Structure 1
Amino acid sequence: MKSILTLFALPLLIISGCSPSEQEQAQQDQRRQQLQNQLIESTPEFDEQLSVVLDRYFDLKNALVETDPESAKIKANSLISETETVEPEGISQESLALWLSYKEIIENGSEELIREDDVDDQRYHFEFISEAMIEMIKTFRPVGYTIYHQSCPMVRGGSADWLSREEQIANPYHGDRMMRCGEIIERI
């Protein structure tokens, strides 16, 4: 019996011994973030343009919070227009490639949202827009104020995230049905 326990305990000790501690993991995450910051270039002009794109995103989010499908279409169209006007001059090729990938997802998701009349179908497309916006904001950090990365655990059998200027939860995926359902994941 003792040898059987040893057989099972030994791999667990080896696995746990190889895992980084929480402090080591935090240091690795910090080094990863520093490396990413070194690779990502931005300019004040580019940041200002991304700030306006973020404003249009917040307008769309608020229309969905209000469960207003017609306003959501208008706001999604404004988001597309704003992304199309961004001039990413002066940034590195790596930064440009990232911006173009986010831009494509934001524009495609917004176009799909505009085609929908049902607010729940619009909210489905908003998930993809939000994912791209979250990554874009984390990558470029174009604004000097706190942005709240929030999440609802009850969206189509899973969870869905969004960005907000406000700390208080105003859920764009449920609007008037479950306005305060969600939590803050992080402050960006």
Structure 2
Amino acid sequence: MLTLISSAITQNSFAQQDHAAHQAQSTSLLPLYYSVKDALVSGDAALAASKSGELAKAIKDTDVKVITNRDALLEHAGKIAESKDLKSQRMHFAGLSTDMITLAKTAKLSAEPIYQQYCPMKKSNWLSSEKAIKNPYYGSSMLTCGQVVETIK
């Protein structure tokens, strides 16, 4: 009986450690996504490519159990990383954002609120750590175009 109880406690402890490891993996993705977004807001294609490469590596390193839409995230992050064309990067950022929104709604990516924002001109969403609109699809030409459509907690 004592062995059975000890075994149950040990298994529960490993399950909690496994959950904590998955939580740590998933929380590293959002800041990397934000850095890609910020590079697009500032119109820096080289920085967007570099940060998207970092994001793709983090996605690859994250357990498949944490990210159910891993292949789609990798595809879009990879396309942004491979491109030096801001227009192409912004096009793929729309797909990346759709997949990150899905992930944010199914996994705990942050202890802070995540703001889902929408650009009516692009008809696309993105995630932000702040309520203030800084549009990654049009950068300085339409920096404040958009609105917060949902707060993910």
Q: Report the TM-score when normalising by structure 1.
A: 0.68
Which ranges of structure 1 fall in alignment gaps of 5 or more residues? 1-41, 89-95
- 1:180 match: secondary structure: coil
Q: 1:32-43 alignment to 2 at 5 Å?
A: 43=19
Moved over 4 A (4+): none
User: Which one of the candidate residues 131, 137, 144 is aligned to 1:180?
Assistant: 144
- Whose Rg is larger? 1
Structure 1 position 79 matched with structure 2 position 55? yes
Sequence identity of aligned pairs in percent?
30
CA drift at 1:183: 0.2
Runs (5+) with no aligned partner, structure 2: 1-17
SS for the counterpart of 2:121 is strand
Task: Say which of 166, 170, 177 aligns to 2:134.
Answer: 170
**d(CA) in 2 for partners of 1:142, 1:125:** 21
| Number of the residue aligned with 2:37 | 61
Distance 1:43 1:131 in 2: 25
Post-superposition offset of 1:117: 2.1
In 2, the alpha carbon distance for the partners of 1:142 and 1:44 equals: 12
Cα deviation, residue 103, structure 1 = 1.4
Distance 1:163 1:44 in 2: 24
Q: Distance in 2 between matches of 1:167 and 1:177?
A: 19
Could you tell me the TM-score, scaled by structure 2's length?
0.83
Tell me the residue number matched to 1:26.
none
Query: Does the Cα contact within 8 Å between 2:26 and 2:108 map onto a contact in 1?
Result: no
Shift of 1:116: 2.1
What residue identity is the alignment partner of 2:75? N
Tell me whether 103-112 or 176-185 shows the greater mean CA deviation: 103-112
Report the alpha carbon displacement of residue 142 of structure 1 after superposing the two structures with TM. 3.1
